[in-house]
Amino acid sequence: MNILVTGGAGYIGSHTCVALLEAGHTVIVADNLCNSRVEVVDKIKQLTKKEVIFYQIDVTDIAAVSTIFSNHSIDGVIHFAGLKAVGESVEKPLAYYYNNLVSTMILAEACQNYGVRRFVLSSSATVYGDNTVPFVETMNLLPTTNPYGETKAMSERILNDIAKANPAFSVSLLRYFNPVGAHESGLIGEVPNGIPNNLMPYVTQVAKRKLEKLRIFGNEYPTVDGTGVRDYIHVMDLAEGHVAALDNLTEGVHIYNLGSGNGTSVIELVKAFEEANGIEIPYEIVERRPGDIASCYADASKADRELGWSAKRDVISMCRDSWRFENNKE
């Protein structure tokens, strides 16, 4: 199939392009490079030895998006493009609502105009809010604590309503848990802007001695050791989950958790990193981070049942591959 991958130069998008190309699909990337570099597209080509069609456009630009749909016979869209920094979304809510919602609407409209029936959205486990773990797709969603999370819940609702009015539209809403790791080659991975907010990129920079020590946000949560528990998923498993979602997409709206189904605490992750890479990670316990919840992990059985997909790579591989990329990146 010819797949339009918005945000395909970004972290999850680039790994998914590799998985799509390896599965025999043709990939057309649309990215404005606001949080990525064009060199990533070359790395995808280098890894797969396949062509990638690249458009440097903003997917909130309806004319630019229409040009892509008229130049190519698109079979499906995977919509990764979006702003994703939770803290920044509190400071710049309008930028987040505009970018993340207008892009979804423009792409959905282009799909309608050009008869494209397959749409896959990057959603997030954040839409569950502080529900009881494990999170199951059938749960009622709870309010999130930030505009970023709201853009994901709203994008899901918009696509639900469009699909209700257009029964031939096939939508997959993929709720990612905590993506970490990098392609096993070390050629592509996550490149955070400035000081990382997320745990794994922070840990790799402490390991690299770019940052002095990890600050663990709270150790009195009701969890195994008091630190926050999350469901870390290797980005290549996540990428393969997209291929499975696309290959199995049928009419209507389908929601899938893409997680490993396992909870790992902050301290467990630090220990796994130390074990995997033989490097000590100094840390201190500090105040809880506002908006954090104690535990977040998936019931990942629906994707296994319906898509035949489950996460294969363990936390040790995630730590090893994150570290390899940290050492390789320019």
Q: Which of 6, 35, 100, 124 binds ligand WQD (CB under 6 A)?
A: 124
Q: How far is the CB of 7 from ligand NAD (least distance, A)?
A: 3
Closest CA to 320 of 198, 207, 228, 213: 207
Catalytic residue among 128, 148, 221, 297: 148
Q: Cα separation of 319 and 250, whole Å?
A: 35
Q: Give residue 102's identity as a one-letter amino acid code.
A: V
172 interacts with ligand NAD by CB under 6 A = no
Please report which helix (H) or strand (E) contains residue 245, including its range.
helix 235-247
213 φ/ψ sector (left φ>0, alpha ψ -120 to 50, else beta): beta
- Mask for 283-302, x = binds ligand WQD (CB under 6 A): ------x--x---x------
Q: Where are the alpha helices (DSSP H) in the chain?
A: 11-22, 39-48, 62-71, 86-91, 93-97, 103-113, 147-165, 199-207, 235-247, 266-277, 301-307, 315-328
Q: Which of 86, 244, 315, 318 binds ligand WQD (CB under 6 A)?
A: 86
Among the listed ranges 58-66, 181-189, 222-230, 282-290, the one in contact with ligand NAD (CB under 6 A) is 58-66
Among the listed ranges 42-50, 75-83, 110-118, 210-218, the one in contact with ligand NAD (CB under 6 A) is 75-83
60 interacts with ligand NAD by CB under 6 A = yes
Q: How far is the CB of 156 from ligand WQD (least distance, A)?
A: 13
Q: Cα separation of 33 and 31, whole Å?
A: 5
Q: How far is CA 172 from CA 40, 98, 255, 305, in A?
A: 26, 22, 6, 15
Among the listed ranges 38-46, 91-99, 212-220, 299-307, the one in contact with ligand WQD (CB under 6 A) is 212-220
The residue behind tokens 């990670």 is: 281
Q: Which of 230, 242, 313, 324 binds ligand WQD (CB under 6 A)?
A: 230
Binding site for ligand NAD (CB under 6 A): 6-7, 9-13, 31-36, 58-60, 80-84, 99, 103, 122, 124, 176, 179
Question: Which residue numbers are catalytic?
Answer: 148
